[in-house]
Amino acid sequence: MSRLSVALLVGAALVTAAGACYKDDSTGNHGKPMAKVLLTDAPFPYDSVASVNVYVVRIEASTGADTTGGGNWTVITEPRKSFNLLNLQQGSTAFVGEGELPAGQYHAIRMTIDTSQSSIVWNNGSKAAVNWQNWSGSNEEPLYALVEYPVNVPTEGAEIVIDFDVGRSFLYNFRGTNEFTLAPQLRAINSAATGSIAGTVTSDYTGQTRPIANANVTVCGGSSTCDPPYAYVVATGRTDAAGHYNVAFLRSGTYTVRFEQPDYPFLAPLTKADVQVRVGQTTSLSASLPQAGSGGAYIHISGPSSVGVGGRLYLYAAVGDSNGNPVYNAKVTWTSSDTTVAAFLSTTTQDSTAAVLEGRQAGVTTITASSGGLTDTHTVQVVALGPVATVTIVPDSATVMVGDSGVFLEAVQRDSAGNLITYPGVSFTTPDTLVLIMGPCGTCQGNRVWGRAPGGGTVYATSNNGIVGQAKITVH
């Protein structure tokens, strides 16, 4: 294989979704197609952080869906460079490198980083404490990307985009240790098969239409619910100071999009379903966040929907009178439906509009805030992090009929001691796309599989550290 030079480029204009394939203009052996790798980012939510620097050692791909026992990996590029992920927002990308790759369908993509040369830097220049959760035995840590659909590399080459979701990957104080914990959320896709969603988020709660900065934009698969914590999240975005956002590199299909600004509890979230994305096109989708209560009396909870065991999160409640006007210093009572899962710190729940919730064990609890006969609820999931030792798909075998409702599959992850690991999730994939159809199952934590044609197929579920489980599906 010839060895090609690697350049670092950052800019939204670098990748055009309408481009079909990459063509190599450099000298070298043209006997094999070229694969160019770019890195992009789902926006990072922490305004107090100056940079998130990830030192990328290599990018590899595998045609095998089952990478157990090391797998058969082909190196695409070895940049051995540091990338500041905060530079890669609103659809911007960084050119990581390029290399020769045999044509075919690739079911697994992994990025190896050097944790000793990676860092998170605060605005004051000091380095933040980071728990990289690296159990490799060296400074090199492999991160496995979600490859929900095989990455097709034709003979003329391809452009592979790796979306590194910083906001969902680096969890601050998730365990109550005042450090960032890496729980990598990456996805990989051929850019030629994608489109994007872009628009502006505003609100007229002041009587005038104003842009909403730092609003969360969550893109969920299919027509499923986009409500946390069980939303089937495909990608995330965030608005800039002018309220603009751009969620790029989405596969052609139908999505549900949720808009919210959790810092403003007086604004209700807004969900738009049946959003169509087409290859090479940008779907325009703007949103105006409504006032909580729609002009009448209300109480509305806002805040995170997940926390780690031992970690703490802040929840806020906005209260409005019968005319929808805010009630300041309202008395609010907070309760948790399962205090063994999460409980409020006693000093924060005495009639306050803000409360601190502490995660105690993995599970789900319903939070209720009450004030003056009004109530609102908020679901919180407490998750356990750790090295995954086993992945089991439930059920591990099933029979479906062509045209029926298919079967729901759930992946159960456990560590070496048998403890349940609930975050991050797994990547579901199948090489048998002529027999099986896969997609989100809605509110369940897994995938749905239908029969396309009679025969047999295998579904694989891969954890973020490369552990694989499988299920056999028979189609009649």
439 near 447, Cβ under 8 Å? yes
Q: What is the structure's pLDDT at 135? A: 81
Q: What is the structure's pLDDT at 24? A: 33
**Strand duo 93-100 + 119-122: pairing:** unpaired
Mean pLDDT of 39-49: 57
- Tens-digit pLDDT profile for residues 97-138: 787 777 777 778 889 999 999 999 999 999 999 999 888 889
Separation CA 68–CA 184 (nearest Å): 19
**What is the C-alpha end-to-end distance of the chain, expressed in Å?**
44
Domains of the chain: 10-194 (2.60.40), 196-292 (2.60.40.1120), 293-383 (2.60.40.1080), 390-475 (2.60.40.1080)
Mean pLDDT of 211-240: 83
pLDDT at residue 14 greater than cutoff 50: no
- Determine the 3-state secondary structure of 13 from DSSP: helix
Q: What is the structure's pLDDT at 413? A: 84
- Higher-confidence position of 423 and 314: 314
pLDDT at residue 22 greater than cutoff 80: no
| Residue 314, C-beta contacts closer than 8 angstroms, at least 6 positions apart | 303, 304, 354, 355, 356, 357
At 213, list the tokens: 């900065």
Beta strands in 78-205 (DSSP E): 81-84, 93-100, 104-106, 108-114, 119-122, 130-131, 140-145, 151-153, 158-165, 170-172, 180-182, 186-190, 194-203
SS3 content of the chain, % helix, strand, coil (to 5): 5, 50, 45
The count of C-alpha atoms lying within 13 angstroms of the C-alpha of 223, restricted to the half-sphere facing its C-beta, is 1
Instruction: Give the pLDDT band (50/70/90) at residue 38.
Output: low
pLDDT at residue 337 greater than cutoff 70: yes
pLDDT at residue 374 greater than cutoff 90: yes
Q: What is the structure's pLDDT at 351? A: 65
Q: Which of these ranges, 10-24, 321-335, 432-446, has the smallest mean pLDDT? A: 10-24
At 265, list the tokens: 């509890």
- Determine the 3-state secondary structure of 352 from DSSP: coil
Percent of the chain residues past pLDDT 70, beyond the cut: 84
- Tens-digit pLDDT profile for residues 260-290: 988 888 888 999 999 999 999 999 999 999 9
- Determine the 3-state secondary structure of 17 from DSSP: coil
- Tens-digit pLDDT profile for residues 392-417: 999 999 999 998 888 988 888 888 77
pLDDT at residue 240 greater than cutoff 70: yes
Q: What is the structure's pLDDT at 121? A: 94
- Tens-digit pLDDT profile for residues 140-181: 999 888 776 677 777 667 778 888 888 888 888 777 778 888
Q: For all residues of the chain together, what is the average pLDDT? A: 81
pLDDT at residue 223 greater than cutoff 70: no
Q: What is the structure's pLDDT at 304? A: 84
